[in-house]
Structure 1
Amino acid sequence: MRIARIAGLVVTSLLIVSPAAASPASDDGPAVIAHRGSSGIAPENTTAAVRAAVRQRADVVEIDVQRTSDGRLVNFHDCTLERTTDVEERFPGRASYRVSDFTWAELRTLDAGSWFDERFAGEPIITLRDVIRQLGRTTGLLAEISPCGHYAGTGLPEQLAAELRSIPGDVDDALEDGRLGVQSFVVADAQAFQAAMPDVPIGLLDAERPTEAELLELSTWADQVNPQFTVTDQALVDRVHELGMEINVWTVDEPGAMRRMRDLGVDGIITDFPQSLTLRG
């Protein structure tokens, strides 16, 4: 599968290895990419969701990278904390509830699980390194640079590159084999990460169908075009491949849509329910 070259970061004692080599899902269809972990059955971007995705044999776990006020890289999607944590109860009256306005010590006190189900009460926010430690030998990591506007120009892509470089283990071999995947909605952030870590394949997310001019421009520097599945058809998949790029579609949760995307020949399917693909048959 072509997806193997972008599949992500997999860790045993923080040693990076290829996820596609061990996962049966990659042998007979697109790579199965767990959206914020197995977020259909567990609170997104938590240990519970990551571990569920690993149990369900997802090829890759997709996460969202943000930064705390004291510089820690954490796994959290929304720009603010209200939807998926008890931040307003724990820190009433704060002027801002952006992730970037809280220290890591403060974020660690939040309950990021009860909003989903009381069974997950007390699930904490976790760091990028926490995710990496939980993935084991067979699951990759696709890291999305947060598109929240307040990070613009603050060096988040460069910090992500520095963090990945700092992981002990056989990083040089992993880079040579192309085992890391990073994506962004923001062209400037994708290009900044590429400049900081040019050997790592980079993908551009898009909610709209890219034009021919955009595809031609992307083909000069990007490795992946990752559109919303609703704008994806055979012509787009074929054109992306003709231009030497890969295509991962998001967020595909209905079985019929999964089958359609598989039949189009996409390289990866980003889904809240990875078990729908990995546990088939």
Structure 2
Amino acid sequence: MYLRPAAAAAAAFLGLAFTALGGASAAAAADPGAPAAAPGLPGPVVYAHRGASAYAPENTLAAVDAAMRLGFDWVENDVQRTKDGELVVIHDDTLARTTDVEEVFPGRAPWRVRDFTAEEVSRLDAGSWFGASFAGARVPTLREYLARVQRNRQRLLLEIKKPELYPGIEEQTLRVLEEEGWLDTAHVQRRLVVQSFSADCVRLVHGLRPDVVTAFLGTPPVADLPAYAEFTDRINPWHTTISADWVAAVHGLVGAHGRALEVDTWIVDDAVTARKVRDMGVDGIISNAPDVVHRAVQEAVLGSLVP
């Protein structure tokens, strides 16, 4: 969570005990079993969008590992479903942009995820488009992805993508999370957020598992925010659509778990925009280049402490 001025000043002195780009968090120091927090001083939480996708092919295990190497414990992903019912991690509802599906299955345009079996998807190269060094990377199943995030002691911002294409995907996603050990108290309280652009999807997830932290992707008008606060904990908008007044309006409402609504904005990859949204008071920033954003917001924190 973003530390507002009074808390930030005090917390900064603790933060000075760590290196600007690599120290363990105070939470991790207090609890050796806790996943390492994003490095550095207080400020908005930085989420690695589709993994550290500026440095590795998006939504692959390589991108998860890249985020870990950079020191970021929060990764974001996208979940869709294959023809035979397997949940897989991929952003687009077609396979064409990020795999070699057109070469492997040339006669099956438009190459929609839901028209391929999990076995067929597993045969695709999801890395070569990004760079030769990633050749052979695969589209992970959600189970494979969860296992890697767990192994890395990271945390997950999971997006249910286009739920209108996949009836029942909310229940199925929660079932897989449960089976993989991600709906116990420790994960639910500290390591998992489920989000969607569909308000109906977020509302359904909240109804099925009221303990899970949820987020709505979008920028509702201020007048509509109280309705969202009934079933979600966060409003996550595109950075071009917000102002400091809008962020303050969100913070002024209590969300589904009895705490002030939070704001995690996306997709910010440059220092100027990172500092701009930080100054608006956002709680989190979702970025393809989390190291760039982290460095920018931490420089802003340090600058504010100079007399």
Pairwise same-fold verdict (TM > 0.5): yes
> Which residue number corresponds to residue 38 of structure 1?
52
User: Which structure 1 segments of 5+ residues have no match?
Assistant: 4-16
1:7 maps to what in 2? Answer: none
What is the match of residue 9 of structure 1? none
Structure 2 equivalent of residue 188 of structure 1: 200
The answer as to 2:246 corresponding to 1:236 is: yes
Q: In the TM superposition, what are the counterparts of 1:68-217 in structure 2 within 5 Å?
A: 68-94=82-108, 96-135=110-149, 136=151, 138-147=153-162, 149-151=164-166, 154-168=167-181, 171-175=184-188, 177=189, 179-206=191-218, 209-217=219-227
Q: Deviations over 1:221-278 (max 9, x none)?
A: 2111000011121111111111021100000011100111122221110000012144
- Measured at CA, do residues 74 and 104 of structure 1 come closer, stay the same or move farther in structure 2, by a change above 3 Å? same
Q: What is the one-letter code of the residue matched to 1:155? A: G
- Give a deviation string over 1:187-242, Cα, whole Å, max 9, x none: 11111211221110111101xx4212221211122111000011121111111111
Contact 1:184 1:190 in 2 (8 A): yes
In the superposition, relative to structure 1, how do residues 229 and 158 fare at CA in structure 2: closer, same or farther (>3 Å)?
Answer: same
Cα separation, 1, equivalents of 2:279 and 2:158: 26
User: After superposition, what is the alpha-carbon deviation per residue over 1:84-136, rounded to whole angstroms, capped at 9, x for unaligned?
Assistant: 11101101111541111111111010011111112211111101122222223
In the superposition, the TM-score normalised over structure 1's length comes to 0.86
> Rg: which structure is higher?
2
Aligned to 2:232: 222
Amino acid of the residue matched to residue 119 of structure 2? A
1:256-275 matches, cutoff 5 A: 256-275=272-291
> How many residue pairs were aligned?
261
Distance 1:170 1:26, change over 3 A: farther
| Superposition TM-score, scaled by structure 2 size | 0.79
What residue is the counterpart of 2:39 in the other structure?
25
What SS is found at the alignment partner of 2:88? strand
Give the Cα–Cα distance (whole angstroms) in 2 for the partners of residues 18 and 144 of structure 1. Answer: 23
1:6 matched to which residue of 2? none
| Residues 54 and 178 of structure 1, relative CA distance in 2, 3 Å threshold | closer
Q: Assess, with a 3 A threshold, how the Cα gap between structure 1 residues 67 and 26 changes in structure 2: closer, same or farther.
A: farther
- Hey, what's the Cα distance between the residues in 1 that align with 2:211 and 2:183? 15
The residue type paired with residue 256 of structure 1 is: V
Q: Judging changes above 3 Å, is the alpha-carbon distance between structure 1 residues 35 and 101 closer, same or farther for their aligned structure 2 residues? A: same
Contact 1:203 1:225 in 2 (8 A): yes
For residues 252 and 60 of structure 1, what CA distance do their matches in structure 2 show? Answer: 15
Change (3 A) 1:137 1:95: closer
Q: Please name the residue that 2:28 is paired with.
A: none
Amino acid at match of 1:275: D
Q: Distance in 2 between matches of 1:257 and 1:144?
A: 23
Cα distance change on mapping 1:63 and 1:95 into 2, 3 Å: same
More off after superposition, 233-242 vs 89-98? 89-98
Query: Retained in 2: the 8 A contact 1:182–1:201?
Result: yes
Q: 1:137 to 1:150 in 2, by over 3 A?
A: closer
Structure 2 regions of 5+ residues with no counterpart?
4-32, 254-259, 300-307
